[in-house]
Structure 1
Amino acid sequence: MSFTHLPTSRADWQALAASLEFETRAFVDDQFVDALSGETFATVNPATGENLAEVASCDTADAEMAVAVARAAFERGEWSRLAPGKRKLVMLKLADLMDAHKSELALLDTLDMGKPIGSSLGDLSGGIGCMRYQAESIDKLYGEVAPTGEDNLALVLREPLGVVASIVPWNFPLMMTAWKISPALAAGNSVILKPSEKSPLSALLLAKLAREAGIPRGVFQVLPGFGHTVGKALALSMGVDCLAFTGSTGVGKQLMQYAGQSNLKRLYLECGGKSPNIVFADCKDLDSVARHAAEAIFHNQGEVCIAGSRLLVEDSIRGAFVDKVLSAAKSMQPGDPLDPDSFMGAIVDEAQHGRILDYIRRGAEEGATLRAGGQADDADSKGLFIPPTVFDGVTSTMTIGREEIFGPVLAIFGFDSEEEAVALANDSDFGLAAGLWSQDIDRIMRVTRRLESGQVFVNNWAGGDQSVPFGGVKQSGNGRDKSHHSLEEYSSLKSVWISLTL
């Protein structure tokens, strides 16, 4: 079904949720099918505890079948050898269909993983924008003619890799899916998508839309299931040429081992983060900066890889600034994800909920000062909610100051000098993102260059668009999503040397 209008109230979203039908089968070889084993798993609404659906639980046999189908589709050439301009038209049609079904797609992500519906709609806009950007890029990137003498002609061609497996996370289900599959499809590859078992429903609707858009049989397939089963099978497959992954650093390291144990497939990782957000005393409008700092960690319940989870504040303004952050956090309490006015929603599942609470306990035990939150929200005993939690006086030796929590927990550090701020910011295994607030352009340029991070946000948090690559350094991974650079990752270079004197 398709909703013809965008709901504007909680009651409207609740009514649409009650009427929604779920596709729960895998999508293989252009058909929706049960897992070969017949096994299923439950996907649960974390805001209510309701069992939404029983979804096909794919395994090794399903992965092997999908890889064979993807390889056959690639060899047939209906997509891999299709003129770039024609691939573009199909992908633009898919983007239009996503836009036409935006209420459904956003609602599925909200029901599946608990994020506020407003956030889901914003994510969907980002996913549609990515699909359109990569589609429009296909026929605008040229090959190369290398410099040679008159007796030779040297060409550098870009060709698709073959079969790409994309393993995406649960925190931004559809947006991360679009970031992964759009450039891979644009480059001409066959793509197998494994959505998280915590949020599989929007990916299965996307498969239906891809078929309607005209993506050929076997070029795009969706295998719901668990990482240790179907995900591992794809990573170990000798028939997969490239694996793209967003998720935890621990799983990323396992996938690197699997790539080495199999066929040395290309592996692009976007892993964890513990991002520093540095506030210098010279920045103006501290009220606005404090609100941005709170949003940087509490958006999406803190379940964000680039969450500004380490707030570094110059000591001369620290007391007053922390008070402003606490004030801003009070307006960001969790609420019904179907309420358009909710800033925060539910934690994705019981395991993550318990993990966050354990970190909060450890923070207090290790000597950090709890300034806000710290308790599970028991307003609805069926839902999994945690309010904004703020610790001050955190050090780099504390667990909450070093490990990725992936929840609404802010760790505040103080510093006295620019040198100390840079040292604190870089004292991390991660390097996905960093923020910097200052009015001193010389300082901005100095610190930006010295921060060990794949992206630096200056006087903003999480700024950017589809033209700017997204990814990290150190143990945050090596891949880049968005921009033309992601297209490069899903293609290989072929050098052609032609003798003209034969």
Structure 2
Amino acid sequence: MATLPDGKLYIDGKLRDAAGGATYEDIGPWTGEVIARAADASAADMDEAIAAARRAFDETDWATDHDKRRGLVAKLVERLKANRDLLADIARHEVGSAPGATAMAQVDGPLGFVHRLFDIFDSIEWEKPMGHSTLFGMNTTRIVVKEPIGVVGVITPWNAPLYITIGKVIPALLVGCTVIIKPAPDTPLMSAIFGDLAAEIDFPAGVINVVTGSDPVLLGEMLVTDKRVDLISFTGSTGVGKRIMEKGAATLKRVFLELGGKSAAIVLEDTPDFAMAVAQSIVCFHAGQGCATLTRLLVPRSRYEEAIAVLEHTYAAYSSMWGDPEDPANVMGPLISARQRERVMSYIESGKAEGARLLAGGNVVTDKGEGFFIEPTCFVDVTNDMEIAREEIFGPVLVVIPFEDDEDAIRIANDSDYGLSGAVRSGDPERALRIARRIRSGTIGVNGGLPIDVDLPFGGYKQSGIGKEWGLEGFHEYLATKAIGIAA
């Protein structure tokens, strides 16, 4: 059984226990066993964190001293990089990351590109001269300035907590906001380490606060409803995102919401590497627990049976290639929890009941240990009105839908409440790009192109969210705009 350091709260510049010493068990997805204990914060703990963040923003020079901020955040990033092995251990044992996923999006990816956020920060235009104007007989010199929005409540999910926390916290700190990090109850340690490292480098009190807790609602709703918090940056399910909008309305709080997806990959009949493109559509990376995962595969009816044969072979070959926690090439491990495993299995049963044909997988796996494993699963003969084609399953489940022509493929792809990601493949790049432009999604790849990077804005259309993360647009989520007029 693996054990990790227990998680503490970090509030007002101090590492400490929760009120009364309360803790809760951190369960490892690979084994189903306790791997650590985390501080179980109370409402009083969260209230103290909000007050500390408010003081640090209102009463110190954090919001105005750019050079000081940049230097301290750079130190925090260097400490994160120096603790790569600990972060990898947390990703494996707490998040359930397979080694191949750890080397990519879970740990090495964000640590490898976080430095590029500083270049984006340096490109921000803080003051923009707007020249002179005469209006109503008054001569005025105008300036438009950018200022940090204030106190930010950062609510992170369990699927890729380091990647997402870096994407929120580093830009917010750089522009001058103060933050309260509230992680998902399943992954407290990946946020607690931010408090540990901030304490090591003597971060100013109240600028960073980390509050962990077992209750999935209490602490987050305090952030959302408290008028001292200016912005909520949330990544998670669409259902919770809607609740945040509702609860935040009372204080007219700004919200950034990066929510669910049911993204479509369209493989056209003229794709030169048709079999390879279909085979690569298998949903396996981090057991399908990714908001931008392409979980609907759209293939032309003229090559539908060929695609099914390719997938049948692919899934059979892959059945022995996943679930090994020591294999550096393995990208698929367990689901995060028993509860999530049950949720995914309920969707699989729904697919069977609706008449989709189970081509591969569909079972709980018990020969890989006591953790929360489900086989890579594929349904064919799916119609787009089925629950498995409309709901975000957040597990290793691919659904395959045939289409008649380009217009039909576009219609099916857009017939969704979500609009986060997508892909188009064709032997004709211009044809693929024409289709990509008509897909209602925030990101889309063409012929294998990657539409996600540090300098690219990430966020969805429709019920996939509001606002953008990463890129210059991501920094602007944490900025307010002020117009100043000076009598000339």
Q: Which residue of structure 1 lines up, in the alignment, with residue 249 of structure 2?
A: 260
Q: What is the rounded CA distance, in whole Å, between the counterparts of 1:291 and 1:103 in structure 2?
A: 33
The alpha-carbon deviation at position 130 of structure 1 amounts to 5.3
Q: Which residue of structure 1 lines up, in the alignment, with residue 221 of structure 2?
A: 232
Q: Which residue of structure 2 lines up, in the alignment, with residue 144 of structure 1?
A: 128
Paired residue for 2:298, among 305, 312, 315?
Answer: 312
Q: What is the rounded CA distance, in whole Å, between the counterparts of 1:116 and 1:192 in structure 2?
A: 29
Which ranges in structure 1 are unaligned for 5 or more consecutive residues?
1-16
Q: Which residue of structure 2 lines up, in the alignment, with residue 12 of structure 1?
A: none
Q: Which residue of structure 2 lines up, in the alignment, with residue 299 of structure 1?
A: 285
SS at match of 2:367: coil
Question: Structure 1's 386 and 462: CA in aligned 2 closer, same or farther, altered over 3 A?
Answer: farther
Summarize deviations over 1:94-128 as a string: whole Å, max 9, x none: 22221111111121021112121331232223323
Q: What is the rounded CA distance, in whole Å, between the counterparts of 2:369 and 2:328 in structure 1?
A: 22
CA contact (8 A) 2:8 2:17 kept: yes
The alpha-carbon deviation at position 424 of structure 1 amounts to 0.4
CA contact (8 A) 1:130 1:482 kept: no
TM-score calculated relative to the size of structure 1:
0.91
Count residues with an aligned counterpart.
Answer: 479
CA contact (8 A) 2:11 2:210 kept: yes
SS at match of 1:293: coil
Once the two structures are superposed, the pairs formed by residues 449-488 of structure 1 within 5 Å of their partners are: 449-460=437-448, 462-488=450-476
Q: In terms of mean alpha carbon deviation, does 307-316 or 224-233 score higher?
A: 224-233
The alpha-carbon deviation at position 37 of structure 1 amounts to 4.8
* Amino acid in the other structure paired with 2:353: E
Q: Which residue of structure 2 lines up, in the alignment, with residue 4 of structure 1?
A: none
Question: Structure 1's 65 and 48: CA in aligned 2 closer, same or farther, altered over 3 A?
Answer: same
Matching of residue 88 in structure 1 with residue 77 in structure 2? no
Summarize deviations over 1:298-351 as a string: whole Å, max 9, x none: 111001101111000011222222322333333264313343232210111001
Once the two structures are superposed, the pairs formed by residues 384-399 of structure 1 within 5 Å of their partners are: 384-399=372-387
Aligned-residue CA RMSD in angstroms?
1.8
The alpha-carbon deviation at position 136 of structure 1 amounts to 2.9
CA contact (8 A) 1:334 1:385 kept: no
Summarize deviations over 1:32-82 as a string: whole Å, max 9, x none: 222225432211011111101221122322221101000111123332111
Higher strand share: 2
Paired residue for 2:79, among 97, 111, 117?
Answer: 97
Question: Structure 1's 343 and 326: CA in aligned 2 closer, same or farther, altered over 3 A?
Answer: farther
Q: Which residue of structure 2 lines up, in the alignment, with residue 496 of structure 1?
A: 484
Q: What is the rounded CA distance, in whole Å, between the counterparts of 1:163 and 1:259 in structure 2?
A: 14
Q: Which residue of structure 1 lines up, in the alignment, with residue 18 of structure 2?
A: 35
Q: What is the rounded CA distance, in whole Å, between the counterparts of 1:291 and 1:97 in structure 2?
A: 40
Paired residue for 1:119, among 101, 108, 112?
Answer: 101
Q: What is the rounded CA distance, in whole Å, between the counterparts of 1:467 and 1:404 in structure 2?
A: 27
TM-score calculated relative to the size of structure 2:
0.94
CA contact (8 A) 1:284 1:439 kept: yes
Q: In terms of mean alpha carbon deviation, does 186-195 or 49-58 score higher?
A: 49-58
Which ranges in structure 2 are unaligned for 5 or more consecutive residues?
none
Q: What is the rounded CA distance, in whole Å, between the counterparts of 1:336 and 1:377 in structure 2?
A: 13
Q: Which residue of structure 2 lines up, in the alignment, with residue 355 of structure 1?
A: 343
Once the two structures are superposed, the pairs formed by residues 84-233 of structure 1 within 5 Å of their partners are: 84-123=66-105, 124-129=107-112, 131-142=114-125, 143-149=127-133, 151-225=139-213, 226-233=215-222
Question: Structure 1's 378 and 141: CA in aligned 2 closer, same or farther, altered over 3 A?
Answer: same
Once the two structures are superposed, the pairs formed by residues 332-481 of structure 1 within 5 Å of their partners are: 333-460=321-448, 462-481=450-469
Summarize deviations over 1:360-394 as a string: whole Å, max 9, x none: 11111111011100111110351211111000010
The alpha-carbon deviation at position 288 of structure 1 amounts to 2.8
Q: What is the rounded CA distance, in whole Å, between the counterparts of 1:242 and 1:119 in structure 2?
A: 31
Q: What is the rounded CA distance, in whole Å, between the counterparts of 1:52 and 1:466 in structure 2?
A: 32
Q: Which residue of structure 1 lines up, in the alignment, with residue 310 of structure 2?
A: 324
Q: What is the rounded CA distance, in whole Å, between the counterparts of 2:112 and 2:328 in structure 1?
A: 22
* Amino acid in the other structure paired with 1:467: D
Q: What is the rounded CA distance, in whole Å, between the counterparts of 1:22 and 1:200 in structure 2?
A: 11
SS at match of 2:212: coil
SS at match of 2:163: helix
The alpha-carbon deviation at position 248 of structure 1 amounts to 0.4
**Identity over aligned pairs, percent:** 36
Q: Which residue of structure 2 lines up, in the alignment, with residue 48 of structure 1?
A: 31
Q: In terms of mean alpha carbon deviation, does 378-387 or 397-406 score higher?
A: 378-387
SS at match of 2:25: strand
Summarize deviations over 1:437-479 as a string: whole Å, max 9, x none: 1122332232122111111111127543211111101000012
Summarize deviations over 1:2-52 as a string: whole Å, max 9, x none: xxxxxxxxxxxxxxx85x641322111111222225432211011111101
Summarize deviations over 1:202-260 as a string: whole Å, max 9, x none: 21112222333453211011111133111111111111000000000000010011101
The alpha-carbon deviation at position 186 of structure 1 amounts to 1.1
CA contact (8 A) 1:130 1:466 kept: yes
Q: What is the rounded CA distance, in whole Å, between the counterparts of 2:70 and 2:326 in structure 1?
A: 35
* Amino acid in the other structure paired with 2:129: V
SS at match of 2:373: coil
Paired residue for 2:235, among 231, 235, 246?
Answer: 246
Q: Which residue of structure 2 lines up, in the alignment, with residue 7 of structure 1?
A: none
* Amino acid in the other structure paired with 2:487: S
Q: Which residue of structure 2 lines up, in the alignment, with residue 10 of structure 1?
A: none
The alpha-carbon deviation at position 167 of structure 1 amounts to 0.3
